[in-house]
Amino acid sequence: MKATLLITVFSILLFSCQPEKTTSESTAVGVTQKQGVQSVDAVSFKNLSEKENTIILDVRTPQEVAEGKIPNATVINIYDPEFETKVKQLDKEKSILIYCSAGVRSAKAAEFLTEQGYPSVYQLEGGLGDWYQNGFPLEK
């Protein structure tokens, strides 16, 4: 009886001390979620961009945008001093699909949006380079 009780108590202590998962976890093919931001591959990003109730947000510089952007994207340069003010004006009821050239700036911007209470933020993993490698269109 004491042995069974000891094993039960030990098991409870052992499993209750497991650390919480804080790293990214894959939630679906092409989708990874981290801190409220869902990172998606180019195929998933394109599929999401074709749905209603979405805003595609390009956070690159004007020089980068001049070389081409994802069709229908709203451009708000992350280096613009008014960046935070401008993105706070985006509709929180819509999904925000955000990208940059490689994914670094869009990750920062996506984190900012989730901190501001935007519930549905998707970041293009690999940035515009991944979009382009998949042969998806750009507009000038």
Tell me whether residue 17 is one of the annotated catalytic residues: no
Here the tokens at position 16 are 């209750």
Put simply, whether the predicted model's pTM sits higher than 0.85 gets the answer no
Residues 13-30, mean pLDDT to the nearest whole number: 35
Catalytic residue of the set 42, 73, 100, 107: 100
Residues 102-131, mean pLDDT to the nearest whole number: 95
Neighbours of 17 (CB within 10 A): 7
Element (H, E) at 38: strand 37-40
User: Would you state the pLDDT for residue 6?
Assistant: 38
Q: What is the pLDDT of residues 57-112, one digit of tens each?
A: 999 999 999 999 999 999 999 999 999 999 999 999 999 999 999 999 999 999 99
Does position 20 have pLDDT exceeding 80, yes or no?
Answer: no
Would you give the distance in Å from CA 84 to the centre of its chain?
17
User: Would you state the pLDDT for residue 113?
Assistant: 97
- Smallest Cα–Cα separation from 113: which of 123, 121, 105, 102? 121
